[in-house]
Amino acid sequence: MQAVQLEIAQQLKVQAPFIDHTDLEAEVARRIAFIQDCLVNSGLKSLVLGISGGVDSLTAGLLAQRAMRELRERSGDQRYRFIAVRLPYETQFDEIDAQASVDFINPDERHTVNIGPAVKALASEVAAFEGQQAVSRDFVLGNTKARMRMVAQYTIAGAAHGLVIGTDHAAEAVMGFFTKFGDGACDLAPLSGLVKNQVRSIARYFGAPESLVEKVPTADLEDLSPGKPDEASHGVTYTEIDAFLHGQPVREEAFKIICDTYQKTHHKRVMPFAP
């Protein structure tokens, strides 16, 4: 079991557990430098990130805002900007948390794009939905929401001459828990390789409120199951996923679920198939 865990962890470039606060601090600095290098090398001046209210976008936003502040201080160029975007589908059930995340990040700019009208307009034109059960339609439209959010972010990034930040990390990558060409699409992924607990640790490093750090993770894409916890979809907990990725013992059932899911979602982690 451990050999399989190690192989998967290597494929996902999983970050080793933080040894102490100094180790954590060094990793934060490395990822901030990564963000800065990506932007400077692109020749662009802004970063765009959708803020959902979860700890992943909160942490990515904190890293991005710090990166932009340091770039401005170092270069004297005030054009470096971080743009935080709220992307609700009509009225988001946890909007209070989302606004609290944006407030704590304190981005250079705040934008809001309600994707509800666009998603509904598209759904009304899709004849393939005819005769489908409500549950199936709801699931498909959940992925449409994620893709529409990324369309909005890239539209803003295009107008602002910037790059789009993604929030994918190892604990989601191993489960394929992202929408292909939706939240899985981005220009840079500063949380890549981290497990869930490490994402939370970085949020705490910045002093984020525990109510946001420990908030129950949810993709919140399905109208029929608003706020459905990620772990209910996974069938395993993030604690078990983190342990798996760090080569620690896990339940046999959890091991099987993670391995099976990793294999089934392989297509999400590679470039499009080509002859």
**Mind telling me the catalytic residues?**
56, 172
d(CA 27, CA 41) in angstroms, rounded, equals 21
Are 111 and 51 spatial neighbours (Cβ–Cβ below 8 Å)? no
- The radius of gyration of the chain's CA atoms, rounded to the nearest angstrom, is 19
Give the pairing type, strands 109-112 and 162-164.
unpaired
What does DSSP assign to residue 81?
A: E
d(CA 126, CA 111) in angstroms, rounded, equals 29
Q: How far is CA 42 from the centre of its chain?
A: 22
Phi, psi of 82 (to 5 degrees): -110, 125
Q: Please name the amino acid found at residue 42.
A: S
* Burial category of 72 from C-beta neighbours within 10 Å (exposed 0-12, middle 13-18, buried 19 and up): middle
* Burial category of 210 from C-beta neighbours within 10 Å (exposed 0-12, middle 13-18, buried 19 and up): exposed
Are 191 and 56 spatial neighbours (Cβ–Cβ below 8 Å)? yes
